[in-house]
């Protein structure tokens, strides 16, 4: 599947001397991505504004990824990690070996539109103080494109609260946007470019985040506290999601988001002004995860989450679910199934009454 067709860059923007001076090193972490890597590399190498270099970091893959990289040996620089160390370590290795003054991240199964780098170079040339630029993107789930691009899902007033200034080349934010991203996070690694000077200031990806679904969020926050930030509003990236169980992934993502927020609260001194927002988001996501756990029949997880949720936040519905989860098996599963069946029947009746 090809990346969506965004609005092309004006030649006077992309071909300007400042834009040509922007040098991108593309970092692609690879782990058992042989099935998708070729399409990703093809999209990177087809850029209308070519990168300085493309660095693929093979994190001890066991599939045919090595065979795929061999086909591109004249177009990429290949680095290998001897042990499977995680995507954070792979990105850090690539950054350490990069020669560009801007780092462009791209995961092994995501796709850039042909003018992705040109759009970023044009915005950076128009606003030279930028350190961090993120782009709009679309997601596919099992090959099906979601109806809305990411930026279209922003809460009302979000971009205005970020102090957005609109240029012909994109957006520039005139204030720190870290606080807003605790509530809604519009960034994704494959749609992000970061200046080398910013990475050298904040440090690389923290390997303590390995295994968490918002694995890049902690690094992104360290950048946002300090960066002058810009954005490309058109969806110039396709993020591909495939495999696994989507509803279970959503539930576990909520659990991981709580863990990441707790880490940030404990370890980021710059997050102190945002503690009330962080605490509120931890509370909300725990509650959402608890309801999702009941819907999935994950009673052990529900019991753990219930012990972390303040009693004042436990609605009657949540208390009933916690009571069911506390019952011995298989009684807990029988009652769960009966309650969910009754709830589904009530929703059908309610929909019929509305019509």
pLDDT in tens, 184-238: 999 999 999 999 999 999 999 999 999 998 889 999 999 999 999 999 999 999 9
Whether the per-residue pLDDT at 242 is higher than 80: the answer is no
Q: What is the value of pTM for the model shown?
A: 0.89
pLDDT for 194 equals: 98
- Cα–Cα distance for residue pair 42/147, rounded to 1 Å: 25
The answer to whether the beta carbons of residues 98 and 55 sit under 8 Å apart is yes
The answer to whether the beta carbons of residues 232 and 135 sit under 8 Å apart is yes
Count of helices and strands (H, E) across the chain: 15, 11
Band (10; pLDDT cuts 50, 70, 90): very low
For the chain, give percent helix, strand, coil, nearest 5: 50, 15, 35
Whether the per-residue pLDDT at 13 is higher than 70: the answer is no
Helix (H, G, I), strand (E, B) or coil at 126: helix
Whether the per-residue pLDDT at 246 is higher than 80: the answer is no
Kindly state the average pLDDT of the residues 82-94.
96
Who contacts 116 (Cβ-Cβ below 8 Å, separation ≥6)? 3, 47, 135, 236, 237
Who contacts 21 (Cβ-Cβ below 8 Å, separation ≥6)? 125
Q: Tokens 């069946």, residue?
A: 341
Look up residue 165 and give its two tokens. 């200034």
pLDDT for 1 equals: 39
Look up residue 337 and give its two tokens. 């199934």
Considering the four listed CATH numbers 3.40.50.300, 3.90.550.10, 3.40.920.10, 3.40.50.2000, the one that applies to the domain covering 11-241 is: 3.90.550.10
- Cα–Cα distance for residue pair 92/87, rounded to 1 Å: 9
339, burial (CB in 10 Å: exposed 0-12, middle 13-18, buried 19+)? middle
Kindly state the average pLDDT of the residues 251-264.
96
Helix (H, G, I), strand (E, B) or coil at 57: strand
Pairing relation of β-strands 164-166 and 171-173? antiparallel
pLDDT for 119 equals: 98
The helix-helix angle for 316-325 and 299-308 (nearest 10°) equals 130
Kindly state the average pLDDT of the residues 140-167.
94
Who contacts 132 (Cβ-Cβ below 8 Å, separation ≥6)? 192, 193, 194, 195, 198, 223, 224, 227, 228, 229, 230
- Cα–Cα distance for residue pair 187/133, rounded to 1 Å: 9
93, burial (CB in 10 Å: exposed 0-12, middle 13-18, buried 19+)? buried
Least confident of 5-14, 233-242, 247-256: 5-14
| Cα→Cα distances 192→15, 40, 61, 109, 216, Å | 21, 15, 24, 15, 11
pLDDT for 247 equals: 64
277, burial (CB in 10 Å: exposed 0-12, middle 13-18, buried 19+)? middle
Q: How many CB atoms lie within 10 A of CB 175?
A: 12
The answer to whether the beta carbons of residues 268 and 288 sit under 8 Å apart is no
| Cα→Cα distances 141→46, 114, 153, 228, 321, Å | 24, 22, 16, 32, 30
CATH 3.90.550.10-classified regions of the chain:
11-241
How long is the chain?
355
Q: Mean of the per-residue pLDDT values for the chain?
A: 92
The helix-helix angle for 316-325 and 275-296 (nearest 10°) equals 50
């Amino acid at each position: 599947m090809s990346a969506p067709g965004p609005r092309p860059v004006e030649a006077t923007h992309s071909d300007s001397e400042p834009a040509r001076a922007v040098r991108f090193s593309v970092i692609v972490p690879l782990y058992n991505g042989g099935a998708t890597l070729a399409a990703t590399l093809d999209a990177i190498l087809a850029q209308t504004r070519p990168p300085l270099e493309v660095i693929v970091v093979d994190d001890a893959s066991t599939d045919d990824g090595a065979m795929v990289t061999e086909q591109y040996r004249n177009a990429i620089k290949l680095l290998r990690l001897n042990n499977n160390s995680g995507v954070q370590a792979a990105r850090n290795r690539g950054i350490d070996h990069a020669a560009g003054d801007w780092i462009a991240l791209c995961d092994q199964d995501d796709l850039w539109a042909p003018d992705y780098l040109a759009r970023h170079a044009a915005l950076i040339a128009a606003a030279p103080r930028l350190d961090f630029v993120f782009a709009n993107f679309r997601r596919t789930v099992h090959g099906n494109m979601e109806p809305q691009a990411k930026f279209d899902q922003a809460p009302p007033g979000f971009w205005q609260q970020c102090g957005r200034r609109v240029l012909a080349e994109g957006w520039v934010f005139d204030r720190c946007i870290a606080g807003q991203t605790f509530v809604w996070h519009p960034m994704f690694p494959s749609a992000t470019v970061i200046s080398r000077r910013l990475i050298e200031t904040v440090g690389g990806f923290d390997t303590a985040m390995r295994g968490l679904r918002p694995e890049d969020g902690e690094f992104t926050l360290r950048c946002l506290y300090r960066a002058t930030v810009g954005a490309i509003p058109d969806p110039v990236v396709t993020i591909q999601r495939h495999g696994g169980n989507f509803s279970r992934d959503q539930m576990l993502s909520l659990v991981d988001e709580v863990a990441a927020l707790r880490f940030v609260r404990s370890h980021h001194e710059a997050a102190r002004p945002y503690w009330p927002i962080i605490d509120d988001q931890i509370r909300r996501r725990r509650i959402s995860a608890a309801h999702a756990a009941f819907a999935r029949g994950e009673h052990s997880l529900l019991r753990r989450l219930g012990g972390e949720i303040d009693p004042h936040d436990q609605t009657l519905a949540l208390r009933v679910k916690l009571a069911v989860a506390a019952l011995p098996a298989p009684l807990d599963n029988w009652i769960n199934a009966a309650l969910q069946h009754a709830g589904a029947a009530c929703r059908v009746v309610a929909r019929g009454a509305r019509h």
